Homo-oligomer: A and B are copies of this chain.
Amino acid sequence: MKKIPVLEVFGPTIQGEGMVIGQKTMFVRTAGCDYSCAWCDSAFTWDGSAKEDIMLMTAEDIWNRLLEAGGDRFSHVTISGGNPALLASLKELIDILKENGIESALETQGSRWQDWFYDISDLTISPKPPSSGMETDFEKLDEIVHRLSENSSQFSLKVVVFDDLDLGYATRIHHRYPGVPFYIQTGNPAVGEGDTAKLVSDLLLDYETLIDKVCERKDLNHVRVLPQLHTLVWGNKRGV
């Protein structure tokens, strides 16, 4: 079995964002990303700051760790990163989950294809808007969305929005793939903020502003606008 670089295994908790927001789930966070978004809220997965904490685990190790932490109190596992789509070796973990009747969710920015995308129950493709400082490879993104659509996969697109340029980008993404369930999410501009009450009130204001902007536009009708629930509940704490 190939080793998978893992930074965190925790749960059960709830999924705080996107298409299965609120879902009771375990989390596996993998290390490594091909992007370096300006506002990345998990920069420790790729900036070297948590290098010492990376565990090289087989799929079976991870499964055992999930059972240790979650016992029989879960039926859903979320794989997050970093960009887990860098890891072909995740196939083995996803197979183990399927064999055990566990549903899975995974989010990736859409820069890389993996055949095991077909086996993810709830797949979120989250291309990064201008404020991230990253460039979208639309050829790659088209290919990914096309393959998933052809396969009738249950997947969604999600764009994090910090400003008007980002909202314009989100609108273009939505119109490029009109049939795909589309989520707009407020970003967290203060990933270092330790005062959770202040963070929550700022985030809820940002969320209200974003709702207002989306509601004004006729080119953003069939969309869902969501905050990050885990940040509202736990602030910037890790591992919850």
Contact = CB atoms under 8 A, between A and B. Distances in A.
Given A221-B73, A221-B76, A225-B22, A211 B233 contact: yes
B218 A23 contact: no
A223 interface: yes
Interface residues of A, number: 41
B204 A22 contact: no
A220 to B, nearest CB: 7
Chain A, interface SS category: mixed
Given A201-B197, A204-B232, A220 B24 contact: yes
Contacts of A204: 200, 232-233
B12 A222 contact: no
Nearest to A13: B215
A93 interface: no
Report the 9 A-B pairs with minimum CB-CB distance, sorted nearest first.
A22-B224, A75-B221, A22-B226, A12-B215, A72-B218, A73-B218, A75-B222, A23-B224, A208-B233
